């Protein structure tokens, strides 16, 4: 396992992706190594309010010159994310990372690998897509959002899927781009069309993940969901972020997750 | 000149006054890579019960201005797993270990202590009679002086080691419960646990937490903790106290020592900064040096009241 650290970071850039989402790039002097699905706890400001750090998935990490650049995609939803959007380049912060587990990218025994993202669930899915593309492993990717203006990073997704001859399926709830309807619908249509899917890796809003959980359970599909539970510490000591498993136990998702195979999860995620 | 950071809570000598608070540092080794426990005054474990506990359904936490609410419900691995899997390693590293004890009955509290007495490596016990987030046990003792005195006496009979009682800020009579714990045989008192609180989701028109109420911790509660500590110290000046509540900086520690604490525990600050206890210790050392304080003991109870 890669050692977690409280990394001193500086804001390299803040750039709008959609009306509500932005890309935050941080530079660290210390090496940062993470796998798709892992996250970091980011300090939003120096004051006592907001008190807690915020959890964000890695959208990517790369070495640039002497340093490492961490890429995150963040949706502005409240106090912490509003402060982050206003950070100026050069501002200092700290990132406790890498935390949690990641998606299972290797060991597919048969069928195709399907990556599924909904809205701001894209960051770990994009990270997975670019890692898979670099390793030359085939996959299809389905990305859904409410409307065309909320689909972003399409060029990178197209490049990654094209590199391995995979399909990029875009969906919007209002039909303003790609297939009309929810992204799980697109996946169901592929299955109905006879496509063999060996594994599904997904991140997105709860209703999407629950729909995927039901689909995977009904079809006996191997699927992994990246869950978003409210977190205080991110490192397994507060026990605030628990998820109910199939055996009824409650486990901290920051440590045992955030990625869980559907078959391990409790009823809430499967029915 | 480097200030002398050594202190003592009654007979228990500590290398420095900064410990971790129960429920915020796991069982002592969970964050060892980010905050080595052997460098602290000590660690207080998550509340341990005779058997493992599953805890409450989520959501269990809610953030508020300069604080947070929790309703974890004392989820823990149980005293047996702690004694066999964790304690030997803590002992090997010479960590000062305070076991936080929780039970639904006096017999359950005694059982936890009895199991620890058969192991080596526990420095002291802290009775949690103040958790606002469980329906049985805990608070039913912490809020009723007579029940608290007999619970403390029952636990006293199990051990010759230092016995601390962690007081509830929600008790109707703070000094009365403090006195009851001492009457029952407590060697020291720690305070405060979290304050009963409510967070509301106005859109859903429901409490944010699944259990309804939760316990408030963090910087928001520091002034309340200081007031309660000082009240107990004034009423019972010879009883050693351990201060807890919203400590974020070395100067905060100095304030708690002045109000009568011989040592402190750092809780919620760990969630913001996992190395907070060590950082705070460094800040305390610099505060003492800057103020010409040769030994932290000089600060204890040193508040000059009006
Ligand atoms: C493992 C993980 C990965 C995540 N990855 C991303 C990502 O890549 N991009 C992104 O935009 N968001 C991501 N989130 C969600 C993100 O953490 C929240 O949107 C953020 O904490 C909101 O903070 P705020 O102060 O703006 O909102 P507020 O609503 O003001 O926050 C109040 C409190 O609720 C918590 N909270 C609110 N919404 C969420 C949520 N959806 N999930 C968890 N906690 C929440 C906050 O942490 C805070 O403690 C992730 C969450 C988790 C657990
Ligand atoms: C998530 C969480 C879990 C806690 N669990 C326990 C516990 O198991 N036993 C206990 O006596 N106190 C528990 N506490 C209370 C703390 O030990 C401490 O008394 C309180 O949080 C005030 O200190 P702080 O403001 O520094 O956090 C818990 C607090 C939090 C925030
Ligand atoms: S966020 Fe604290 S245990 Fe997961």
Residue B41 lies in a domain: yes
How many C-beta atoms lie closer than 10 Å to residue B204's C-beta? 8
Determine the average pLDDT of the residues in A242-261: 97
Query: A102 vs A98, A127, A137, A269, CA distance in Å?
Result: 10, 11, 17, 19
Residue B1 lies in a domain: no
Residue A175 lies in a domain: yes
Number of domains in chain A: 2
Is the CB of residue B265 less than 8 Å from the CB of residue B190? yes
Task: Find, among A70, A74, A58, the residue nearest to A18 by Cα.
Answer: A74
Distance A75 CA to ligand 2 centre (A): 31
Distance A18 CA to ligand 1 centre (A): 18
Nearest CA to ligand 1 atom 41: A228
Q: Is the CB of A241 under 6 A from ligand 3?
A: yes
Distance A203 CA to ligand 1 centre (A): 14
Contact A233 B274 (CB under 8 A): yes
CATH code of the domain covering residue A160: 3.40.50.80
What's the pLDDT tens digit per position in A15-49? 999 999 999 999 999 999 999 999 999 999 999 99
Residue B306 lies in a domain: no
Is the CB of residue B193 less than 8 Å from the CB of residue B128? yes
Task: Find, among B114, B104, B175, the residue nearest to B141 by Cα.
Answer: B104
What's the pLDDT tens digit per position in A162-189? 999 999 999 999 999 999 999 999 999 9
Contact B75 A250 (CB under 8 A): yes
Contact B61 A6 (CB under 8 A): no
Helical H runs in A16-153?
79-85, 122-135
Catalytic residue among B35, B116, B131, B288: B131
Is the CB of residue A223 less than 8 Å from the CB of residue A202? yes
CA distance A130 to A124: 10
- Give the side-chain half-sphere CA count within 13 A for A45: 15
Where residue A109 falls among pLDDT bands split at 50, 70, 90?
confident
| Domain of B164, in residue numbers | 7-53+73-196+219-299
Nearest CA to ligand 2 atom 3: B23
Q: Give the list of residues 6+ apart from residue B36 with CB closer than 8 angstroms, or none.
A: B278
Measured between CB atoms, does A1 come within 8 Å of chain B?
no
Determine the average pLDDT of the residues in B189-196: 97
Where residue B141 falls among pLDDT bands split at 50, 70, 90?
confident
> Pseudo-torsion of CA A196, A201, A206, A210, nearest 10°?
30
| DSSP H or E stretch at residue A250 | strand A250-252
Same domain, A117 and A83: no
For residue A248, list chain B residues with Cβ-Cβ distance below 8 A: 54
Q: Is B271 exposed, middle or buried, given 0-12, 13-18 or 19+ CB atoms closer than 10 A?
A: buried
Distance B74 CA to ligand 1 centre (A): 25
Q: Give the list of residues 6+ apart from residue B272 with CB closer than 8 angstroms, or none.
A: A43, A51, A52, A53, B248
Is the CB of residue A138 less than 8 Å from the CB of residue A164? yes
pLDDT, position B1: 74
pLDDT, position A2: 73
Closest atom of ligand 1 to A123 CA is: 8
Gap from A40 CA to chain B (nearest CA, Å)? 13
Q: What is the DSSP letter of A40?
A: E
Contact B272 A6 (CB under 8 A): no
CA distance A57 to A71: 9
Gap from B24 CA to chain A (nearest CA, Å)? 6
pLDDT, position B306: 85
Q: Which residues pair with B12 in a beta bridge?
A: B9
Same domain, A213 and A141: yes
Q: Which residues pair with B127 in a beta bridge?
A: B101, B165
Task: Find, among A202, A248, A246, A249, the residue nearest to A228 by Cα.
Answer: A202
CA distance A110 to A197: 8
Residue A265 lies in a domain: no
Asked whether the predicted pLDDT for residue B92 surpasses 90, the reply is: yes
Residue B201 lies in a domain: no
Task: Find, among B264, B254, B260, B248, the residue nearest to B293 by Cα.
Answer: B254
Residue B207 lies in a domain: no
Gap from B82 CA to chain A (nearest CA, Å)? 15
Peptide linkage before B112 cis (omega within 30 of 0): no
- Give the side-chain half-sphere CA count within 13 A for B270: 28
Of A99, A120, A142, the residue that ends a domain is A99
pLDDT, position B123: 98
How many C-beta atoms lie closer than 10 Å to residue B136's C-beta? 10
Residue B305 lies in a domain: no
Measured between CB atoms, does A106 come within 8 Å of chain B?
no
Residue A158 lies in a domain: yes
Is the CB of residue B132 less than 8 Å from the CB of residue B170? yes
Where residue B85 falls among pLDDT bands split at 50, 70, 90?
very high
Where residue B136 falls among pLDDT bands split at 50, 70, 90?
low
Residue A165 lies in a domain: yes
Where residue A226 falls among pLDDT bands split at 50, 70, 90?
very high
Closest atom of ligand 2 to B221 CA is: 25
For residue B33, list chain A residues with Cβ-Cβ distance below 8 A: 3-4
Asked whether the predicted pLDDT for residue B96 surpasses 90, the reply is: yes
Residue A270 lies in a domain: no
Same domain, A118 and A200: yes
Q: What is the DSSP letter of B251?
A: H
CATH code of the domain covering residue A38: 2.40.30.10
Compute φ and ψ for A22, nearest 5 degrees.
-135, 160
Residue A263 lies in a domain: no
Where residue A141 falls among pLDDT bands split at 50, 70, 90?
very high
Asked whether the predicted pLDDT for residue A118 surpasses 80, the reply is: yes
Same domain, A119 and A78: no
| DSSP H or E stretch at residue A226 | strand A223-226
Residue B46 lies in a domain: yes
| Domain of A69, in residue numbers | 5-99
pLDDT, position B222: 98
Determine the average pLDDT of the residues in B215-225: 98
Asked whether the predicted pLDDT for residue A247 surpasses 80, the reply is: yes
Determine the average pLDDT of the residues in A237-266: 97
CATH code of the domain covering residue B257: 3.20.20.70
Of A99, A131, A164, the residue that ends a domain is A99
Task: Find, among B262, B140, B192, the residue nearest to B21 by Cα.
Answer: B192
3-class secondary structure, A17:
coil
Residue A260 lies in a domain: no
Q: Give the list of residues 6+ apart from residue B213 with CB closer than 8 angstroms, or none.
A: B71, B132, B133, B196, B197, B198, B207
Tell me the ligand closest to B127's alpha carbon: 2
Which strand ranges, in their side-by-side order, compose the sheet holding A60-64?
Answer: A54-57, A39-42, A92-99, A5-16, A21-28, A67-75, A60-64
What's the pLDDT tens digit per position in B147-173? 999 999 999 999 999 999 999 999 999
Is the CB of residue B103 less than 8 Å from the CB of residue B78? no
pLDDT, position A271: 86
Residue A162 lies in a domain: yes
Number of domains in chain B: 1
Q: Is B154 exposed, middle or buried, given 0-12, 13-18 or 19+ CB atoms closer than 10 A?
A: middle
b/e burial code for range A220-253 (CB count within 10 A of at least 16 → b): ebbbbbbbbbbbbbbbbbbbbbbbbbeeeebbbb
Higher pLDDT, B271 or B138: B271
| DSSP H or E stretch at residue B214 | strand B213-217
Task: Find, among A2, A15, A20, A10, the residue nearest to A151 by Cα.
Answer: A20
> Pseudo-torsion of CA B279, B283, B286, B291, nearest 10°?
-170
Q: Is the CB of A229 under 6 A from ligand 1?
A: yes
* Probe residue for ligand 3, chosen from A231, A250, A257 as the CB with the greatest number of ligand atoms within 8 Å: A231
Residue B211 lies in a domain: no
How many C-beta atoms lie closer than 10 Å to residue B11's C-beta? 11
Higher pLDDT, A153 or B306: A153
Nearest CA to ligand 1 atom 10: A74
Nearest CA to ligand 1 atom 4: A56
Where residue A133 falls among pLDDT bands split at 50, 70, 90?
very high
Which of the residues A94, A232, A241, A245 would you substitute to probe the B interface, choosing the one with the greatest number of B C-beta atoms within 10 Å? A232
CA angle B55, B59, B61 (to 5 degrees): 90
pLDDT, position B36: 98
B155 catalytic, yes or no? Answer: no
CA distance B34 to B26: 13
Closest atom of ligand 3 to A55 CA is: 1
Same domain, A91 and A178: no
Where residue A267 falls among pLDDT bands split at 50, 70, 90?
very high
ipTM, interface predicted TM-score of the complex: 0.95
pLDDT, position A1: 61
């Amino acid at each position: 396992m890669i050692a977690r650290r409280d990394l001193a970071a500086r804001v390299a850039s803040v750039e709008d992706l959609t009306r509500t989402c932005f890309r935050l790039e941080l530079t660290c002097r210390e090496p940062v190594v993470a796998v798709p699905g892992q996250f970091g706890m980011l300090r939003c400001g120096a004051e006592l309010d907001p008190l807690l750090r915020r959890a964000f998935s890695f959208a990517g990490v790369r070495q640039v010159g002497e340093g490492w650049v961490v890429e995150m995609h963040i949706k502005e939803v409240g106090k912490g994310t509003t402060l982050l959007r206003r950070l100026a380049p050069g501002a200092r912060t700290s990132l406790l990372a890498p935390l949690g587990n990641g998606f299972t990218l290797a060991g597919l025994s048969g069928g195709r690998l399907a990556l599924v993202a909904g809205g701001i669930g894209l960051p770990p899915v994009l990270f997975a897509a670019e890692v898979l593309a670099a390793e030359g492993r085939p996959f299809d990717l389905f990305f859904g959002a409410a409307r065309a203006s909320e689909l972003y990073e399409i060029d990178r997704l197209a490049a990654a899927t094209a590199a391995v001859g995979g399909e990029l399926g875009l969906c919007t709830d209002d039909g303003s781009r790609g297939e009309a309807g929810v992204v799980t619908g697109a996946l169901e249509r592929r299955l109905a069309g006879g496509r063999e899917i060996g594994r599904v890796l997904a991140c997105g809003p709860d209703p999407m993940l629950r729909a995927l959980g039901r689909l995977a359970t009904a079809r006996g599909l191997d699927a992994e969901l990246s869950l978003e539970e409210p977190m205080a510490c991110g490192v397994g000591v507060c026990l605030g972020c628990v998820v109910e498993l199939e055996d009824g136990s409650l486990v901290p998702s920051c440590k045992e997750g955030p990625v869980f195979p559907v078959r391990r999860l409790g009823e809430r995620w499967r029915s | 000149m480097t200030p002398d950071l050594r202190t003592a809570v009654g007979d228990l000598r500590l290398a420095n006054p900064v410990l971790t608070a129960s429920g915020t540092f796991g069982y002592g080794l969970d964050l060892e890579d980010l905050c080595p426990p052997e460098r602290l005054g000590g660690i207080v474990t998550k509340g341990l019960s005779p058997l493992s506990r599953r805890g409450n359904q989520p959501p269990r936490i809610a953030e508020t201005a300069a604080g947070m609410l929790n309703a974890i419900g004392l989820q823990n691995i149980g005293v047996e797993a702690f004694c066999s899997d964790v304690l030997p390693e803590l002992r090997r590293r010479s960590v000062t270990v305070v076991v936080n004890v929780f039970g639904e009955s006096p017999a359950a509290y005694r059982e936890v202590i009895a199991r620890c007495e058969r192991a080596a490596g526990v420095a002291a016990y802290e009775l949690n009679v103040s958790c606002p987030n469980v329906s049985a046990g805990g608070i039913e003792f912490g809020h009723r002086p007579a029940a608290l005195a007999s619970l403390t006496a029952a636990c006293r009979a199990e051990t010759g080691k230092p016995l601390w009682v962690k007081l509830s800020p929600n008790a109707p009579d703070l000094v009365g419960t403090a006195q009851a714990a001492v009457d029952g045989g407590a060697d020291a008192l720690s305070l405060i646990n979290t304050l009963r609180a409510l967070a509301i989701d106005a859109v859903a028109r429901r409490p944010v937490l699944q259990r309804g109420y939760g316990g408030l911790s963090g910087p928001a509660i520091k002034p309340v903790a200081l007031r309660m500590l000082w009240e107990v110290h004034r009423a019972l000046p010879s009883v050693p106290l351990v201060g807890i509540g919203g400590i974020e900086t070395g100067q905060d520690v100095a304030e708690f020592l002045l109000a009568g604490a011989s040592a402190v525990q750092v809780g919620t600050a760990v969630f913001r900064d996992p190395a907070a206890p060590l950082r705070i210790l460094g800040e305390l050392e610099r505060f003492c040096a800057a103020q010409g304080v040769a030994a932290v003991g000089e600060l204890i109870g040193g508040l000059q009241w009006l």
